[in-house]
Amino acid sequence: MDTESVRLFVLSAEKLNISAAGRELGMAPAVASARLAKLEKTLGADLLRRSTRKVSLSLEGADFLPFAKEMLAQEDAALAALGMVTPTVSGTLRFAAPSTFAQNYIAPILPKFLNAYPDITLDLRLSDTQFDLIEGSFDLALRNQEISDSSLKGRKLADDTRVLCASAAYIAEYGSPERPSDLARHRLIAFKDFSIRGLVNRAGEQAHFDPKAATSRLLCDDGQSQKIATLAGAGISINSLWSVHRELASGSLVRVLPDYRLDQHTALWLVYPKSNVLTAKVRVFIDFLLDEIGGTVSDLVRIDSAD
- 281 and 142, same structural domain? yes
Asked whether 190 and 220 are in contact (CB, 8 A), the reply is yes
Last residue of a domain, one of 55, 81, 107: 81
In a domain, 98, yes or no: yes
- pLDDT tens string, the chain, 307 residues long: the values are 788 899 999 989 988 888 888 888 888 888 889 999 999 999 999 999 888 778 888 999 988 988 888 888 777 767 666 666 555 677 888 899 988 899 989 999 999 999 998 888 999 988 877 766 655 678 888 987 666 655 567 888 888 888 899 999 999 999 999 998 888 888 888 766 667 888 888 888 888 887 777 777 788 878 889 999 999 999 999 888 899 999 999 999 999 999 988 877 778 889 887 655 667 788 889 999 999 887 777 666 555 654 5
Residues 6+ apart with CB under 8 A from 213: 184
- 288 and 147, same structural domain? yes
CATH number at residue 108: 3.40.190.10
- 232 and 166, same structural domain? yes
- 183 and 302, same structural domain? no
Q: Is the dihedral of CA 34, 36, 37, 41 positive or negative?
A: positive
In a domain, 86, yes or no: no
- 167 and 247, same structural domain? yes
- 276 and 153, same structural domain? yes
In a domain, 31, yes or no: yes
CATH number at residue 171: 3.40.190.290
Last residue of a domain, one of 81, 106, 138: 81
- 151 and 293, same structural domain? yes
Residues 6+ apart with CB under 8 A from 165: 230, 236, 237, 238, 239, 244, 247, 248, 253, 254, 255, 256
- Which H or E run includes 4? helix 3-15
In a domain, 96, yes or no: yes
pLDDT at residue 88, as a whole number: 64
Give, in degrees to the nearest 5, the angle at Cα 91 between 85 and 94: 140
- 211 and 232, same structural domain? yes
Domain count, the chain: 3
Q: How far apart are CA 84 and CA 76, in angstroms?
A: 9
Domain that holds residue 55: 3-81
